[in-house]
Amino acid sequence: MNEADQPGFDVSSGNIPRHLAIIMDGNGRWAQKRGLPRTVGHKQGVEAVRDAVKSAREIGIEYLTLYSFSSENWNRPEAEISELFGLLRMFIRRDLADLHKNNVCVKVIGRKKGVPEDILCLLDEAQNLTSKNTAQTLIIAFNYGSRDEITDAVKQIASDVASGKLKVDDITDGTITNAMDTAGIPDPDLLIRTSGEVRLSNFLLWQMAYSELVFLDCLWPDFSKKDLESAISIYQSRTRKFGGLVMETGS
């Protein structure tokens, strides 16, 4: 059966991804199609973020990771970067209280270098305020690049070996996993990327070794709960093998 012909989303099955990761792509193209500045697309994208966080929580997804600003995004025009930072400020100031009220724990992954001090303070405030919340974990990948993350993990492990804290023969995949920004967070079960692009763009490369990937044609500002349910329906139709072990996605 073609994935497009799969039966609809079924929350009652219990077959829900525990961890969902999203590459939110298409803000600029959304604006361009309407003859609007790219900044308008980014603003509409923030509204889609708000709806996605709420929808994921309602569906029962425990962990939601959003690729909000990549290490490669520094190559964009300075004015656009400034706009993206401004939107992040607005999102945290406007939505942090609501996230806290709904028992959402906020975590941030990515490098701090180069990020404006006031942004770092806001991100720290969000993490500190919500650190004990348990209903859902919202992971914001900000100034994040997976190769940077892996490089930093290798440096940390090499330092531990050099100092005698760790023996080379004792290094396992678990050692590397625990050195990642996402230590303590389960790997994503499902990745969604919007806009029709079919690539990972340096996002969670280590963590997504066995994730299910769903690529949607809709542009991020148009992403709705219906699109989320459609992607989960595709996830529910698949059998996860994890390198050979046949296992239903809900197992």
> Which CATH number goes with the domain that contains 68?
3.40.1180.10
pLDDT-derived band at 251 (thresholds 50, 70, 90) equals very low
The reply to whether 81 falls in a domain is yes
The reply to whether 161 falls in a domain is no
The reply to whether 157 falls in a domain is no
The reply to whether 175 falls in a domain is no
Q: Mind listing the pLDDT tens digit for each residue in 195-248?
A: 999 999 999 999 999 999 999 999 999 999 999 999 999 999 998 877 765 555
105 DSSP 8-state letter: E
The reply to whether 138 falls in a domain is yes
Chain CA centroid to CA 212, Å: 14
Residue pair 38/80 in contact (Cβ under 8 Å)? The answer is yes
Lowest mean pLDDT across 141-145, 158-162, 247-251:
247-251
Range of the domain at 51: 17-145+186-248
Residues annotated as catalytic are 25, 73
Q: Mind listing the pLDDT tens digit for each residue in 94-149?
A: 999 999 999 999 999 999 999 999 999 999 999 999 999 999 999 999 999 999 99
Q: Mind listing the pLDDT tens digit for each residue in 42-67?
A: 999 999 999 999 999 999 999 999 99
Lowest mean pLDDT across 11-15, 99-103, 131-135, 155-159:
11-15
Cα distance between residue 145 and residue 111, in whole Å: 8
Res. 1: pLDDT tops 50: no
Residue pair 26/221 in contact (Cβ under 8 Å)? The answer is yes
Number of domains in the chain: 1
| Alpha helices, DSSP H, located in the chain | 27-33, 38-59, 78-101, 117-130, 146-162, 173-178, 225-237
The reply to whether 123 falls in a domain is yes
The reply to whether 57 falls in a domain is yes
Cα distance between residue 251 and residue 247, in whole Å: 6
Mean pLDDT score of the chain, rounded to an integer? 92
Average pLDDT over residues 12-36: 92
The reply to whether 151 falls in a domain is no
